[in-house]
Amino acid sequence: MTAILSRLRRLAAPILPERLRAERPVVPVVRLHGAIGVGGGPFRPSITLASAAPLLERAFATPNAKEVALVVNSPGGSPAQSHLIFRRIRQLSAEKEIGVTAFVEDVAASGGYMIACAADEIVADPSSIVGSIGVVSAGFGFDRAIEKLGVERRLHASGANKAILDPFSPEKPEDVERLKEIQREIHEHFIALVKERRGGALGGDPDLFTGAFWTASTGLGLGLVDRIGDLRSTLRERWGEKVDIRPIAARAPLLRRLSGRGEGVGAGVFGAGLADEALAALEARALWSRFGL
């Protein structure tokens, strides 16, 4: 059956549009844009394994694919979601025996850089921001505010640590130390992953794993990226002028399409509650703003 299909394809080649001819090299492109694991919606896109996996699977299943290109533009977010996406990319690359190149746009920092490390090569614009190999937690304390408002906090929990770091209660040193221990463990995993994927290229800068970040121009010397460039120029140089650069996009809900909003990973969930949307937007905005974006 395969031989018959191959022969039919060759016979039909002269009358097929050039983009459909089997001999033309194809590079499927998956765009990963937004904060990772932070609730998405019309205000701010987000990336999760659930949103990324179907597109990654389609990309790696593309006939005649020479490699898979990832366009990464993320300030980070959930460590777990970042690692799950990283693992899925590596699994598909190994299963299909197809290489991966990550192309960084504005930023690939923290979890965004972890995802970029799933690629065999990282290409970035000279002004892209890369790095931020660290772990951060942020929140607010409202205990003094509710005291001034005359609000009584009533909290009932079973388990001594069930209400740890409750924002409406005074912060306890032992709770902070517990959080820092978790952060240290996650940070160690992150460092090990980067060393495994990029150990041969990494420089010896003492700030490399402190959460610091750099432009890709500097990151090139540190071993955080492999080359300076862009998607189209790099793929044409690698596969020729006729390379079929094929975006793999999710089908957006009807209401989103009618509203003119984009498609793809990071599109978010249309129609979520406005309060949740606003909080998610603020959280995502805080992640982006760390990098001047």
Q: Is the pLDDT of residue 43 over 70?
A: no
Q: For the range 246-250, what are the long-range contacts, defined as Cβ-Cβ under 8 Å and sequence gap of 24 or more? A: 246/26, 246/27, 246/28, 246/29, 246/62, 247/28, 247/29, 247/31, 248/28, 248/29, 248/30, 248/55, 248/58, 248/59, 248/62, 249/31, 249/55, 250/51, 250/54, 250/55
**Average pLDDT rounded to a whole number, residues 160-170:** 72
Other CB atoms within a 10 A radius of the CB of residue 83 amount to 20
pLDDT (tens digit per residue) in 48-73: 999 999 999 999 999 999 999 999 99
Given a contact cutoff of 8 angstroms between Cβ atoms, the answer to whether 267 and 19 are in contact is no
Distances (CA, A) of 178 to 173, 174, 175, 182, 184: 9, 6, 5, 7, 10
Other CB atoms within a 10 A radius of the CB of residue 269 amount to 16
**Average pLDDT rounded to a whole number, residues 184-208:** 92
**Average pLDDT rounded to a whole number, residues 180-206:** 92
Q: Is the pLDDT of residue 82 over 90?
A: yes
pLDDT of residue 159: 74
Given a contact cutoff of 8 angstroms between Cβ atoms, the answer to whether 68 and 59 are in contact is yes
Catalytic residue annotation: 110, 162
pTM exceeds 0.85? no
Amino acid present at 266: G
Q: Is the pLDDT of residue 38 over 90?
A: no
Q: Is the pLDDT of residue 199 over 70?
A: yes
Q: Is the pLDDT of residue 47 over 60?
A: yes
Mean pLDDT of the chain: 82
Q: Is the pLDDT of residue 172 over 90?
A: no
Q: Count of alpha carbons within 13 Å of 36, Cβ hemisphere only?
A: 28
pLDDT of residue 52: 96
Other CB atoms within a 10 A radius of the CB of residue 168 amount to 16
Residue bearing the bigger pLDDT, 83 or 4: 83
